[in-house]
């Protein structure tokens, strides 16, 4: 009998568990969490199960670790800890009673020790998501093995001929390695219990397909991105009568195998053919009456979507994104009676009115098409709708007031870059679940609806490039999770500081873009002291992108226009951990608050085209992550703080068209700037300007002491320091924008991604 926790554990076993914990940095793991995954045998008191919580241990797993003294262990899970630079100790073979061994996502390096094959009782072995190298590990002695996962390592060479003949093996995942060759099977009949085989993202060629087709017990087959030299014929899998999941994305397919007469497995429930070079809608799918998930995105399919697709009785998830589709066969209500819940039509050439969505729709993504007309009111009758993304179309008319029907379900509304008119409906009820509202680049007028305060989960609000006329929405500070607010290019007016001249008190705001409006007034010295944001690259749910709301089947990503380094760019993935401020193009006056220096990880600050006076704050030299600084077209005086020359990430600076004087700081980042960054400052001299400071009477570089002696500036600095002492450092963690751009280039700008691999596992 086995009890949970420490029940039944002998005291010396508890001491050994503590000894093992103390071999590592375990500060992120408290005692209770650590022992939650322990089970002991009531009779012997020996530990039989050990499941270390994720992220609990950091350090090197050594061969003499006390772990290898738990020789009664039957279940061991060390996954998702940090043993980086550790090799897999051969001493795992000491644990010869193990039935389950999971070592995934630990950073293990080197070869898999041959002694692993001594664990003859193993039924499940998972060493995935590490940095393991060498040839295929020896597992031929593991005759009881049912599950084998070595995916996402650097294992090379051939698959052993005996592997897929093991008597109990049912699940094999070898995805994402450097495996080559084919699979040898005996000529005579053989018995197999193999149900799931995943070989994608390796270096096999098409010769592997015929042997696979003989494993007639297969239900799940994943062969994405094989190194095939000729198109794959889907008909080769016709013998797999039990097959329900098939993923061939990233391979070229033989067109004839997609025709209506093609003999393909009829029991398929999940089929992923993304990026397969398909040019015509595959009519072979018409016979798949059990189909639940279909992904034929990223192909070259032209013309109309056939009407029969929506008649498949069990269809739930459909991605047609990134093709050349133009319209739908049938009437405007052709989709209504479909059973589809998740529908992705993005990045096609659809024209005409948006069809009425299925009655059961949960997510509708139709962005980047040419749909016209009004948003159909029928959308408001889809009670399960969670994500509505109709951005980048030519839709007209008003935002439907009836969207207020979605009291509990609607999470994302993205209507960006259409031609919508009227005001934003005051439609948000108390307890609304909305997290993203993006209506940027339309023709919207009126004021912001005060009912937005009812959306306590709201994180991202983008209203840029409209005609909204209102005062600064201080009342949005009541939203506890608001992280990004974009009001750029509207008709907002009035002050952006409160009448009491206190800090801008938004609890989690990191991105504030209010440029090109009619904001006026000055900012108090303590304006930025209450800015707070996460210091982690991921939020508490492990997500790194805003808009990723942890749905198991899709990921939505927010879009942000960012004015950076003098350029205007659209960012398709908004990270959860960097901060930007853009107040440019207004009529703000007075001195720039010294408290801006508290934002030590700010990556972009744009205060250009205002009426700011006084000196450039000395505290800016503390903003060590700053990459883009634009103070141009103001009335700033004094000298450029010398500390700006030492900001190692500062890739762009512009102080042009001010009243600055003295020598330009000669840091590497500043010398490389163009002359235009410093032009129209009659008193400036030094590189990159042609005007030399040698032999002139240019004033010396401004120092902290001189600044404090200036009565007006000294008062501001002292006020800022006093407030900072009272409030503490509201530090923001910023990421280098270069890394942001790398992420955009590497991952693309798609804001809706079907997580096909995960769905194939869980559907």
Beta bridge partners of 486: 462, 513
Asked if 322 and 348 touch (Cβ cutoff 8 Å), the reply is: yes
Given a cut of 60, whether residue 113 has pLDDT beyond it is: yes
Q: pLDDT tens, 222-250?
A: 999 987 778 889 999 999 999 999 999 99
In sequence order, which residues have a C-beta less than 8 Å from that of residue 120 and are 6 or more positions away?
96, 141, 142, 143, 144
Q: Is 742 exposed, middle or buried (0-12, 13-18, 19+ CB in 10 A)?
A: exposed
Q: How many C-alpha atoms does 286 have within 13 Å on its Cβ side?
A: 13
Tokens for 596, please give them: 């801006």
Mean pLDDT of the chain, nearest integer: 84
Lowest model confidence (mean pLDDT) among 3-12, 186-195, 304-313, 542-551: 542-551
Distance CA 76, CA 38 (A): 10
Asked if the structure places residue 129 within a domain, the reply is yes
The verdict on residue 412 lying in a domain is no
At 303, list the tokens. Answer: 């013309």
Are the CB atoms for 430 and 406 separated by under 8 Å? no
Residue 755 three-state SS = coil
pLDDT band at 568 (very low <50, low <70, confident <90, very high): low
- 595 vs 528: CA distance, rounded Å: 5
Distances 135 to 108, 139, 232, 330, 630 between C-alpha atoms, Å: 15, 12, 27, 55, 55
The residue that leads in pLDDT, 600 or 558, is 600
| Paired strand residues for 589 | 522, 611
What is the domain-level CATH number for residue 678?
Answer: 3.80.10.10
Distance between CA atoms of residues 415 and 427, nearest Å: 16
Q: How many residues does the chain have?
A: 763
375 lies in some domain: no
d(CA 268, CA 263): 12
Residue 281 lies in a domain: no
Over 65-112, what HEC string results? CHHHHCCCCCEEECCCCECCCCECCHHHHHCCCCCEEECCCCCCEEEC
Per DSSP, helices labelled H in 660-710 are: 668-671, 704-709
pTM score, two decimals?
0.83
**Residue 569, pLDDT above cutoff 90:** no
558 near 732, Cβ under 8 Å? no
Q: What is the pLDDT of residues 495-538, one digit of tens each?
A: 998 887 778 888 888 889 999 999 999 999 999 888 764 333 43
Question: How many structural domains comprise the chain?
Answer: 2
Q: Whole-angstrom Cα distance, residue 333 to residue 345? A: 16
Does a structural domain hold residue 176? no
Q: Confidence class of residue 164 from pLDDT cuts 50, 70 and 90?
A: confident
Residue range(s) defining the domain that contains residue 604: 492-742
Looking at residue 430, its pLDDT comes to 80
Residue 729 placed within a domain: yes
Structural domain contains residue 272: no
User: pLDDT per residue over 670-698, tens digit each?
Assistant: 878 899 999 999 899 988 888 888 754 44
User: In this structure, is residue 332 part of a structural domain?
Assistant: no
Token pair belonging to 570: 């659209």
Q: CB under 8 Å to 359, separation ≥6 — which residues?
A: 336, 337, 381, 382
**How far, in Å, CA of 371 to CA of 345, rounded?**
11
């Amino acid at each position: 009998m086995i009890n949970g926790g420490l029940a039944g554990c002998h005291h010396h076993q508890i001491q050994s568990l503590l000894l093992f914990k103390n071999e590592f940095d375990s500060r992120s793991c408290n005692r209770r969490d650590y022992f939650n995954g322990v089970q002991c045998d009531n009779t012997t008191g020996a530990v039989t199960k050990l499941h270390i919580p994720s992220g609990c241990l950091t350090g090197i797993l050594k061969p003499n670790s006390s772990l290898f003294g738990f020789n009664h262990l039957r279940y061991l899970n060390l996954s998702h800890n940090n043993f980086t630079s550790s090799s897999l100790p051969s001493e795992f073979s000491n644990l010869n009673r193990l039935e389950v061994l999971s070592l995934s996502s630990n950073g293990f390096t080197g070869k898999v020790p041959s002694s692993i094959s001594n664990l003859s009782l193993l039924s499940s072995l998972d060493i995935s998501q590490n940095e393991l190298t060498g040839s295929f590990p020896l597992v031929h002695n593991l005759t009881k093995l049912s599950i084998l996962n070595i995916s996402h390592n650097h294992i090379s060479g051939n698959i052993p001929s005996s592997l897929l003949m093991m008597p109990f093996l049912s699940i094999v995942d070898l995805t994402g390695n450097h495996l080559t060759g084919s699979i040898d099977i005996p000529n005579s009949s053989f018995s197999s219990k193999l149900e799931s085989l995943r070989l994608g993202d390796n270096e096999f060629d098409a010769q592997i397909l015929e042997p696979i087709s003989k494993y007639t017990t297969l239900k799940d087959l994943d062969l994405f991105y094989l190194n095939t030299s000729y198109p794959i014929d889907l008909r080769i899998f016709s013998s797999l009568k039990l097959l329900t999941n098939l993923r061939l994305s990233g391979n070229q397919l033989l067109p004839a195998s997609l025709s209506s007469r093609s003999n393909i497995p009829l029991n398929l429930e999940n089929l992923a053919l993304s990026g397969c070079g398909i040019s015509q809608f595959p009519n072979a799918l018409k016979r798949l009456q059990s189909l639940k998930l279909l992904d034929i995105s990223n192909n070259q399919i032209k013309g109309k979507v056939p009407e029969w697709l929506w008649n498949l009785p069990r269809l739930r998830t459909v991605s047609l994104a990134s093709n050349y589709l133009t319209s739908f066969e049938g009437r405007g209500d052709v989709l209504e009676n479909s059973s589809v819940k998740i529908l992705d039509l993005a990045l096609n050439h659809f024209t005409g009115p948006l069809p009425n969505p299925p009655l059961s729709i949960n997510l509708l993504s139709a962005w980047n098409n040419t749909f016209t007309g009004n948003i159909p009111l029928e959308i408001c009758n889809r009670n399960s709708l969670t994500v509505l993304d109709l951005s980048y179309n030519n839709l007209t008319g008003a935002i439907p007031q009836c969207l207020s029907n979605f009291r509990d379900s609607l999470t994302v509304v993205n209507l960006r870059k259409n031609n919508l008119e009227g005001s934003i409906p005051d439609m948000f009820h108390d307890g609304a679940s909305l997290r993203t509202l993006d209506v940027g680049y339309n023709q919207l007028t009126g004021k912001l609806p005060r009912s937005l305060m009812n959306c306590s989960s709201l994180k991202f609000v983008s209203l840029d490039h409209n005609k909204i006329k209102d005062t600064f929405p201080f009342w949005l500070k009541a939203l506890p999770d608001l992280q990004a607010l974009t009001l750029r290019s509207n008709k907002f007016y009035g002050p952006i500081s409160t009448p009491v001249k206190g800090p801008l008190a938004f609890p989690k705001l990191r991105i504030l873009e209010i440029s090109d409006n009619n904001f006026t007034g000055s900012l108090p010295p303590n304006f930025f002291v209450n800015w707070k944001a996460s210091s982690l690259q991921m939020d508490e749910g492990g997500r790194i992108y805003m808009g990723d709301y942890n749905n198991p089947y899709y990921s939505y990503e927010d879009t942000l226009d960012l004015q950076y380094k003098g350029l205007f760019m659209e960012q398709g993935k908004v990270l959860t951990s960097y901060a930007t401020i853009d107040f440019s193009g207004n009529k703000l006056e007075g001195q720039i608050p010294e408290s801006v220096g508290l934002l030590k990880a700010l990556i972009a600050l744009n205060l250009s085209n205002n009426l700011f006076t006084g000196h450039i704050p000395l505290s800016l030299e503390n903003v060590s992550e700053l990459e883009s600084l634009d103070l141009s077209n103001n009335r700033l005086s004094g000298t450029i703080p010398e500390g700006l020359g030492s900001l190692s990430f500062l890739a762009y600076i512009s102080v042009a068209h001010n009243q600055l004087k003295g020598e330009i700081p000669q840091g590497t980042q500043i010398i490389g700037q163009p002359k235009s960054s410093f032009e129209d400052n009659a008193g400036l001299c030094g590189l990159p300007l042609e005007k030399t400071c040698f032999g002139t009477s240019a004033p010396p570089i401004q120092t902290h002491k001189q600044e404090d002696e200036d009565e007006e500036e000294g008062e501001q600095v002292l006020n800022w320091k006093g407030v900072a002492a009272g409030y503490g450092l509201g530090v923001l963690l910023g990421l280098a924008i270069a890394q942001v751009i790398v992420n955009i280039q590497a991952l693309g700008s798609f804001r809706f991604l079907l997580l096909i691999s995960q769905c194939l596992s869980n559907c």
